[in-house]
Amino acid sequence: MAAAKLFINHFIDRAIHLKRRKEIYEELYPETKQGVIGGIASGKSRNKDKGTTISNIVVQKKSFIKDAAIKTGYSKLSVVYRTILYRTVPLA
């Protein structure tokens, strides 16, 4: 019983850590936020450059999930699960 509680607390702590990491990452690289690239493509196509398509736009920075997986040693799927956890479960 105590071991299960310890495991759950460890998993929640990791989720909280990733939440803060994502907040910092999005402050440093706002262009990586979900939905931003669509807004950039849409805005550019409405301006002078009518030839701009989403395929012509290159995002230089990798996504948070990929970056966090590389730096933490977790798989990308583990990072996704933990990000879902902190979004769906009240962790306060």
Q: CA 39 → CA 35, 36, 45, 66, 75, distances in Å?
A: 7, 5, 10, 22, 29
Domain count, the chain: 1
Helix (H) or strand (E) holding 70: helix 64-72
- pLDDT for 59 equals 46
Entry pTM:
0.63
pLDDT along the chain (92 residues), means of 10: 82 87 91 65 52 51 88 92 80 55
Locate 65 and state its tokens: 């999930």
Residues 6, 78: Cα–Cα separation, whole Å: 18
- pLDDT for 77 equals 94
Range of the domain at 59: 2-88
- pLDDT for 49 equals 53
Cβ–Cβ under 8 Å, residues 12 and 92: no
